[in-house]
Chain A
Amino acid sequence: MKKQHILRRAAILFVAAVVAPMIAACGGSAATEPQVIRETVVVKETSAPIVETVVVKEEVEVAKDTSFTTPHPILGDVKVRQAIAHCVNRPELIKSVYPFLTDEQQQGLLMDTFLPKSHWAANNTSIVSYPFDPEKGMALLKEAGWEEGFNADGLPLFLKFTTTNAAFRQTWATVLEQQLKDNCGIAISRTHAPGSWWFGDTTGLSRRDFELGAFAWVGQTDPGGISLYACNQIPLPSNNWEGQNYMGWCNETASKAIIAANNTLDKAERVKQYAIVQEEFTKDMVSLPLFNRLEAAAANKNLKNFKPNPTEYYTWNVEEWELAGKDTVVLAFTQEPASLYTLVESAAVATTAAGLLSARGVTSLDYDYQAVGMTKLPSIGDGATNEDVEVKAGDMVWTTSGEAVALAEGVEVTNAAGETVVWDGSSALTMKKLTVSFEMKPGMKWQDGIPVSKADYELGYKVSCDPESGATTFTFCDSVATFTQESDTKQTLVFHPGVQWPTFYTGGFGASPAHQVIESDGPYKGKKLAEVPAKDWPTLPEVAEKPLSTGPYKIVSWEKGQKMVFEANENYYGNAPKIKNLVIQFYEDTNAAVAALLTGNVDVVGTETLGAGAEVETVVKAAEEGKLQVQTLASPTWEHIDFNLFIK
């Protein structure tokens, strides 16, 4: 008994002696810690957005936000960034990943700015270029106060380099590390993180957790770029990391120009503004463009008219393909499409397969657009108007942040002169109102022979813009004020004042077969497609698996995990495809697909399947031996190194 007593006492003492001070220490330090002010942020803007959504308590004097305002001690200096650009031998980087290309082909991949050289908005004249020149690099470093790898304060010239663990990035980054060290004495330490971290929602790039960060952007026919280069698009802890300007680059001239470039429909003006952005971009050297990735598509050497293009799916001219002596062409995919309903599924494989089933309105070859099913691309004055209209309180307008709201005091919009204004609630405000008409060529039919009608387009619009449809984004729908299908071929869209889509001419809403009778089992059996609510479309086999075609081919069967079988659509309004049957065969990996191409079991391995890995080398060599035809393209996806101009 006594012993127990002592033990208990000892335990109490122990608690008193050890644990209590610990608790006290914790509590104490918390008490002495300065007050953190908590404010609730308005997340959902239901009516007109209130620009300052944070209610700051009045009695507290709030200091200016200082996170990411301290310039990076090394990269904050433009001379150092320019030096790095001169110290990097980019052709050698390209050679390290694509050794099998000729020098000329390698040169074709080199990027000097954020647009490829062949892009319509590329500035190839007034930009600053950074040829490999270590001496110049060293001189710039010296000017910036860096000698022998240290500055006057004894700070070492050492940078962290972050990117993904993709094999080809490891390859060129190894070469880069060597180059920087040998040529200019810049030491870098490489981190090859998993993509899930580097591109995570709350990690890596999106939190600007890097010094030198390498990744790729996918270039587009329309260069866009506001979210990448405008001053108000810098992700910061204080704006909940909104924006994609990860460098923290704020150059007033460039920022104004990029907004202006996206706020006008005049192509010449856009070219001019983009030229300014590129000039500033290269002058400030905030991000070092490296190269376009390589893309390749390979095919049976007897396949005629196989013309893959960097900005269009390689099946864009499938009806012109010819294959001597065969009536079936076989395409290899390594990923099975999740659905043929392109509203909910936009992976390249799904779009390629679904593309066979639809009559195209436009093609987007070579970073530009061409009318195919449309009689012409509308332009201002010819099928489209862009008039100045006076707007008043309560009118629906398009805000600068890309939302349709009723005009009220405090709403930020772009006025007719292209200036960003916050409406004061009373003064006169004029905005641009865009109206576009699209005219399709006549004679388009569904595969069952029934002509595509006004009702079909109306159904297409209704379903595409139904919030329950399962689509990812409704920004375009929201920007449309009125949709009118005037006839079986003519569609007119009136946008909210302020909407200035630079690519307004690329097309309106597509058609869905309103007359189609549902044959699959379920609650809609026997009804017409038009009667099925939008939320059930993605699960309907008539929509997801065997949609009615208006395109060159129609789908016959889809054996999951194995293949999709297509045959020529006799009701296609364009030229009948020259090859009667088309099969998409699924393979486990690129290697297997290429093996099948070499043995003749497959006729086409497209860009999305071939990728840019080791298999490209295999097909390029096979093509040199005359076994295949291969097209190598500069992909719109381009590698670059971002410099983080600030530290946390």
Chain B
Amino acid sequence: MATFLIRRLIQMVIVLLASAIVSYALLYLAPGGPTTGLRQIQQGGRNSITAEDIARIKARFELDLFLPYRFTRWLAGFPSGPITIGGQTFFADTPAGCAIPGQVRLRYPDGTSEIIEEGCEEYVTFADLADRRTSRGIIFGDFGNSQVILRDRPISVLIESRLPYTLQLMGAALFISILIGVPLGIYSAVRQYSRFDYVMTTVSFVGSSLPTFVIGIICILIFAIAAKEAGLPYLPPGSAVALSDYTVPWIGTVESESTLDRLLHFIMPCGVLVFVNIAGYSRFIRSGMLEVLRLDYVRTARSKGLRERTVVLKHALRNAILPFITLLAGVFAELFGGAAITEAIFNWPGLGRLLVDSIERTDYTVAMSLTMVSIFLLLLGYLITDILYSVLDPRIRLS
């Protein structure tokens, strides 16, 4: 077990590092960032942008550093200046980036000429890095600063403001859907082709084929708008809390930001997620159970005269649930990542919306931080699943 854990942890670090490199490189290639649009400003007036202005902005957001240094500074806060060993300074003049790119004019024999960027006019050296602010690095929990969304301020502030809402929504939705979805799937499998099974499969078919934005909008139409117009109790269409007190028929006046207010806002987004999740989970459990229920050892258990309840829950379920555990490996990542579409429809201030926003507005440091945390949680989920396997299935030994 110990060797397995150590091996898995080493693997985890490698996978994490590899995915960090790949996603960082991808976002490095993507267009946009803090200098976007500067060239579209009409030049010549009081707000003219010079090459030095652009160089200064790039320096502020580290965009002038060479990719490997940018990456290591982001990852581990290194290098943060020249390296000093025993009072001696090394690499002080080594270039770490290019502040102002060099230009070369190419004159062609046909008379045309062209200026291309080549080489570097002014380098950023390791010594220059000492004067810059340096994050401690994402592996030490410092996400660095946002480039666009919360210009120049810590990403941790952004995440802290969104995380409670995402945990609340995703946590509750996952808990309720497992609580309902699993028994539903089992019951449906045991009573295959019963009326209940038909209804269940139809509903879950609908649930898993309709995208959340369709279900979400239908729910808003029915429970928020139509219900309100009909004078029935209704649910607020979006946001996490109301801005001012409001009156709901049968319930009375709901005070803004009270627990009741939060609960009413919570029901619809949570309900939609639960509905979709249940559909998926129950279908999964049902098919797993159906497969197992047909097997010999289940028949043997029955013929031994065991109670049907014991047969189903102890003999069949324990075997059928293994694939379902794999499905749950992604739960942590999902808890953190939120549900971007559902959050968008219900204006829920969660992390999923933040990720979408950060990509749309090309705030790549924020997008990178969220991606890294998600990858880490996903890997953690897999590790826990592997351990759970051995607990649930005696045939699997971790070594």
Contacts and interface: CB of A to CB of B under 8 A. Distances in A.
B153 A238 contact: no
Interface stretch (B53-61, B280-288, B299-307): B53-61
Nearest to A538: B152
Most buried by B among A201, A338, A403, A503: A338
Main secondary structure of the interface of A (DSSP, over half): loop
B106 A37 contact: yes
A473 B153 contact: no
A434 to B, nearest CB: 13
B335 interface: no
Contact of B38 (A43, A63, A467, A472): A472
B70 interface: no
A44 B101 CA distance: 10
Interface in B149-176: 149-154, 157-158, 161-162, 165
B377 interface: no
Interface in A317-364: 328, 330, 335-336, 338-339, 344-345
A562 B240 contact: yes
Interface stretch (A91-99, A380-388, A585-593): A585-593
A39 B161 contact: no
A200 B103 contact: no
B161 A559 contact: yes
B151 A65 contact: no
Contact of B151 (A538, A586, A588): A538
A561 B104 contact: no
B149 A338 contact: yes
Contacts of A2: none
B88 interface: no
Interface string A252-280: 00000000001000000000000000000
Interface stretch (A116-124, A151-159, A222-230, A422-430): A222-230
B314 interface: no
Contacts of A196: 31-32
Interface in B24-67: 31-32, 37-40, 42-53, 56-57, 60
B344 A589 contact: yes
A328 B149 contact: no
Contact of A41 (B39, B56, B115): B115
B153 A544 contact: yes
A479 B121 CA distance: 26
A282 to B, nearest CB: 20
Interface in B290-324: none
A472 B34 CA distance: 10
A470 interface: yes
Contact of A244 (B43, B145, B228): B43
Contacts of A262: 44
B395 interface: no
A66 B239 contact: no
B149 A336 contact: yes
A339 B114 contact: no
Interface string A228-244: 10000100011111011
A243 B44 CA distance: 9
Contact of B112 (A34, A237, A544): A237
A268 B149 CA distance: 44
Contacts of A328: 243-244
A5 interface: no
A563 B31 contact: no
Contacts of A595: 237
B43 A560 contact: no
Interface string B111-123: 1111100000110
B115 A224 contact: no
A339 B150 contact: yes
A43 B100 contact: yes
Contact of A40 (B56, B102, B244): B102
A234 to B, nearest CB: 13
B157 A560 contact: yes
A351 to B, nearest CB: 13
B76 interface: no
Contact of A585 (B48, B154, B162, B243): B243
Nearest to A602: B243
B47 A539 contact: no
Nearest to A65: B113
Nearest to A545: B153
B337 interface: no
Given A44-B121, A472-B53, A38 B115 contact: no
A62 interface: yes
A560 B162 contact: yes
Interface in A455-510: 467, 470, 472-476, 479, 501, 503
A501 B47 CA distance: 11
B373 interface: no
A206 interface: yes
A561 B109 contact: no
Nearest to B238: A592
B148 to A, nearest CB: 6
B115 A344 contact: no
B38 to A, nearest CB: 7
B152 A470 contact: yes
Given A44-B51, A44-B121, A338 B353 contact: no
Given A66-B111, A67-B112, A206 B47 contact: no
B113 A43 contact: no
B195 interface: no
Contact of B103 (A34, A240, A479): A240
Contacts of A224: 42, 44-45
A558 to B, nearest CB: 9
B46 A501 contact: yes
A571 to B, nearest CB: 25
A35 interface: yes
Most buried by A among B48, B51, B241: B48
Interface in B63-116: 100-115
Contacts of B149: 336, 338
Given A44-B121, A330-B243, A472-B49, A588 B57 contact: no
Given A44-B122, A63-B110, A563-B243, A345 B104 contact: no
A560 B100 contact: no
Interface in B127-164: 145-146, 148-154, 157-158, 161-162
Nearest to B43: A227
A592 B46 CA distance: 38
B104 A39 contact: yes
A226 B44 contact: yes
Given A592-B347, A595-B237, A35 B109 contact: yes
A102 interface: no
Interface string A58-78: 001011111100000000000
A244 B40 CA distance: 9
Nearest to A240: B115
Contact of A587 (B102, B347, B361): B347
B349 interface: yes
B290 to A, nearest CB: 41
B273 interface: no
A447 to B, nearest CB: 22
A562 B111 contact: no
Contacts of B184: none
Contacts of B112: 65-67, 237-238
Contacts of A6: none
A222 B40 CA distance: 17
Contacts of B379: none
- 5 closest pairs, A vs B, by CB? A561-B349, A63-B111, A560-B161, A227-B43, A338-B151
Given A560-B158, A585-B243, A601-B242, 9 more contacts: A39-B104, A43-B103, A63-B110, A63-B111, A217-B42, A226-B43, A233-B43, A474-B53, A588-B347
15 contacts: A36-B109, A41-B103, A44-B52, A62-B107, A65-B113, A201-B39, A330-B243, A344-B151, A467-B56, A475-B50, A501-B45, A539-B145, A588-B347, A592-B347, A595-B237
